[in-house]
Structure 1
Amino acid sequence: MYAIVEIAGQQFKVSKDLKVYVHRLANEEGSKVSFDKVLLVDDNGTITLGAPAIEGASVEAKVLQHLKGDKVIVFKKKRRKGYKKRNGHRQYLTQILVEGISTTGAKKAAPKKEAAPKKEAVATEEAVEAPKKKAVKAKKEDTQE
């Protein structure tokens, strides 16, 4: 069983007992956190898709630790001009452990039904054509007189 969930503005594919690095969360280390914006749930081949999110579904997780990501160096240079700029960045991250995916109250997608032709539409067309025929007959009678 897996789910696509939105955490801190990013979408992640998560399953039970999976460790995930996400953007820094405000929760304390060791605390539990719940994410309600579940976009898709796959339960052994039964897919439930949200529009945009599945109501009643949630992902439960535990905050393991707060840390910083790898250093990224941004280096800008313009040749023959003596212009060089060096800048670095380290993203603040939170490591979480997914403890479970809950789908209580989530509605399963119903199988699609084939569209049958509407009988009302046929009756409506006949109702529209009948006055036209009467108008044509009346016009022919007027021209014959």
Structure 2
Amino acid sequence: MYAIFNNGGKQYKVIEGQIIKLEKIKGNIGEEIKFNKILLIHNKNNFKIGQPLVTGASIKAKLISHKRDKKIKIIKFHRRKHFCKIQGHRQFITTIKIIKIQI
């Protein structure tokens, strides 16, 4: 059984027990959160596709940690103009564990 849900403008495919990284979510570590924007649920031979969302479906998850992701480099460069600018960015992320997918 898997589900596809929407969070922070991105879509994630998850199964029960999976640990994923999302953009930062407000909440305390160890707290349970609920996602209601479910786009699709697949259960053995049954597909439930939302138009746009599956009604009555939700995903329960547990907050594991808040941290920052690895650094990415942003490089701006103009050849033959003596211009080079390098900048770094580290995104805040939240790690969650999927507990249950409810239909």
**TM-score category of the 2 structures, normalised to the smaller one:** over 0.9
Deviation at 1:81, TM superposition (A): 1.6
Partner of 1:85: 85
User: How far, CA to CA, are the matches of 2:74 and 2:40 in structure 1?
Assistant: 36
TM-score by length of 1: 0.69
The Cα offsets for residues 19-55 of structure 1, whole Å up to 9 and x where unpaired, read as 0100000111110000001110001121011100011
Aligned partner letter, 1:4: I
User: How far, CA to CA, are the matches of 2:41 and 2:78 in structure 1?
Assistant: 49
Q: How does 1:90-129 map to 2 (within 5 A)?
A: 90-103=90-103
Give 5+ residue unaligned stretches, structure 1: 104-145
The Cα offsets for residues 103-125 of structure 1, whole Å up to 9 and x where unpaired, read as 0xxxxxxxxxxxxxxxxxxxxxx
More strand by share: 2
Deviation at 1:8, TM superposition (A): 2.1
Deviation at 1:77, TM superposition (A): 1.6
CA RMSD of aligned residues (A): 0.8
Aligned partner letter, 2:29: E
User: How far, CA to CA, are the matches of 2:86 and 2:94 in structure 1?
Assistant: 27
Q: How does 1:1-145 map to 2 (within 5 A)?
A: 1-103=1-103
Q: Relative contact order (C-alpha < 8 Å, sep 6+): which is higher? A: 2
TM-score by length of 2: 0.96
- The structure that has the greater radius of gyration is 1
Aligned partner letter, 2:45: G
User: How far, CA to CA, are the matches of 2:8 and 2:32 in structure 1?
Assistant: 16
How many residues in Structure 1 have an aligned counterpart in Structure 2?
103
Aligned partner letter, 1:73: K
